[in-house]
Amino acid sequence: MSNKRKIIYATLLIVAIGLIYAGNYAIQYAYIGSSYNAKTVCSCMFVSGRDLENIKAEELYAVPFATVEVDEVNKAVTANIYGLAQTKAIYRKGLGCTLVNELTEEEIKKQPSVPLADTLTEKLTTISDFAGIDKVSLDKTINDAFQEKDPQNIIRTRAVVVLHNGQILAERYATNIKPETPLLGWSMTKSVTSAMIGLLVKDGKLDIKKPAPISEWQNDERKKITIDHLLRMSSGLGFEENYAAPSDATRMLFRKKGAGAYALQSKAAAEPDKIWSYSSGTSNILQEIIRRQFASHANYLAFPYQRLFHKIGMKSAVLEPDAIGTFVGSSFMYATARDWAKFGQLYLQDGIWNGERLLPEGWVKYSSTETAHSDGKYAAHFWLDHQDITFPQDAFMALGFEGQSVTVVPSKNLVIVRLGCTPKDNFNLSALVKGVVAAVK
């Protein structure tokens, strides 16, 4: 064979491999996109109770080209992208929506449910005496949080709730959102996962300074990783946190039957406690650890409801599981703005509610203490802002994609909740927090 012919064949082979790779990549991308749409529509309709057309107009901006079919009788949503990928999400009462990944719908529906709350009396009261409050400044700050000033940078704030001394100081909602509407917290769910770890620490079932109790890690370098490392995002595990393409994060959330089971397969990329690297996989590994502390699946599913949500009156809270029934502790929790505020209030009160210590003594301080190598921006599954010296330095935050936030400011006895759907994730949280803090004399 001549050299010229060899070059031609080699070129054709390279082109063929490239086309195969591109095709596989496109199919992966299509499956992730259709899964995102199916899951999003399912949860927004059957958990939040929102209108389909509004969901399409506001939520599906990332994957606008999928077709979505809703089965309102069976409470299921199917999404399809150009025939390349079709995925389905199903709703179960108390559990929210779950993608049908690597298991059958029948297998998923056989799993136990969660105990539903009885009538809860933990209702927030509204402040009537505004002594010591600059009401004009406060109202302007809240109003600014809803103002659409740039059509190229939509912020789409849906809810703001401010608690002062445990009472509602300010509260406002978008026109299509009610106080009773549960809204997605995205990565604020990570802070709830941390609280679940805290409950097990209080029970004496976990020690955060000891190696993580994961049998799969005991024969390699990962055996050095502690729960503390995981909570601080300093485990050294390699995990690709990229939502713009097929990656560890998107496969974990939208294609795998078990988010934590998938994430714990991550390999060591660095020594523990040497680098800080934000990873949603880490939070789902923590949920896998939590689940393994229970003798039955039903007891695990009941745990956050009986020990946390029902205790503080978070009646609206829905923590959604993956297909194998493990909570997606990185991303998928819904609650009303008032109930997210109650979660923040629990931390403001040092983990005590109605005189009962729910979280172990010192847990809130631990959760809000800066992590090494994080440049002053992270603690233990809560965020900080120590780089901006004009931001309240004792504040700590649960933060989520599209501008979700629960900010706790102990020095002012404030909890500030903002929920929305900000496509470029550029809501000015700093202005909201600073404005509220300034208004409280």
Rounded to an integer, what distance in angstroms lies between the CA atom of residue 159 and that of residue 429?
Answer: 13
Q: Is 204 helix (H, G, I), strand (E, B) or coil?
A: coil
Mean pLDDT of 143-150: 97
The lowest-confidence range among 27-31, 107-111, 194-198 is: 27-31
Q: What was the pLDDT predicted at 392?
A: 97
DSSP for 293-329, written as a single string = TSSSHHHHHHHHIIIIITTTT-TT-EE-B-TTS-B-T
Q: 1 CB contacts (<8 Å, ≥6 apart)? A: 9
Question: In whole angstroms, what separates CA 41 from the centre of its chain?
Answer: 17
Confidence bin at 245 (pLDDT 50/70/90): confident
- Kindly tell me if the per-residue pLDDT of 103 is higher than 70: yes
pLDDT, averaged across the chain = 93
Q: What was the pLDDT predicted at 41?
A: 98
Confidence bin at 384 (pLDDT 50/70/90): very high
Q: What was the pLDDT predicted at 23?
A: 53
The lowest-confidence range among 2-16, 165-179, 269-283 is: 2-16
- Kindly tell me if the per-residue pLDDT of 7 is higher than 90: no
Q: What was the pLDDT predicted at 18?
A: 45
Confidence bin at 253 (pLDDT 50/70/90): very high
Q: What was the pLDDT predicted at 3?
A: 58
Q: What was the pLDDT predicted at 262?
A: 98
Mean pLDDT of 14-42: 74
- Kindly tell me if the per-residue pLDDT of 116 is higher than 90: no
Q: 76 CB contacts (<8 Å, ≥6 apart)? A: 42, 70, 88, 89, 90, 91
Rounded to an integer, what distance in angstroms lies between the CA atom of residue 234 and that of residue 222?
Answer: 12
Mean pLDDT of 151-165: 97
Mean pLDDT of 430-438: 98
Is-contact 199 358, C-beta < 8 A? yes
Alpha-carbon distances of 67 from 33, 35, 84, 99, 277, rounded to whole Å: 11, 12, 12, 16, 36
Q: What was the pLDDT predicted at 375?
A: 96
- Whether the predicted model's global pTM rises above the 0.75 cut: yes
Q: What was the pLDDT predicted at 61?
A: 95
Q: 179 CB contacts (<8 Å, ≥6 apart)? A: 171, 173, 336, 337, 338
Pairing of strands 414-420, 157-164: antiparallel
The pLDDT tens digits for 189-222 are 999 999 999 999 999 999 999 999 999 999 999 9
Confidence bin at 20 (pLDDT 50/70/90): very low
Q: What was the pLDDT predicted at 9?
A: 41
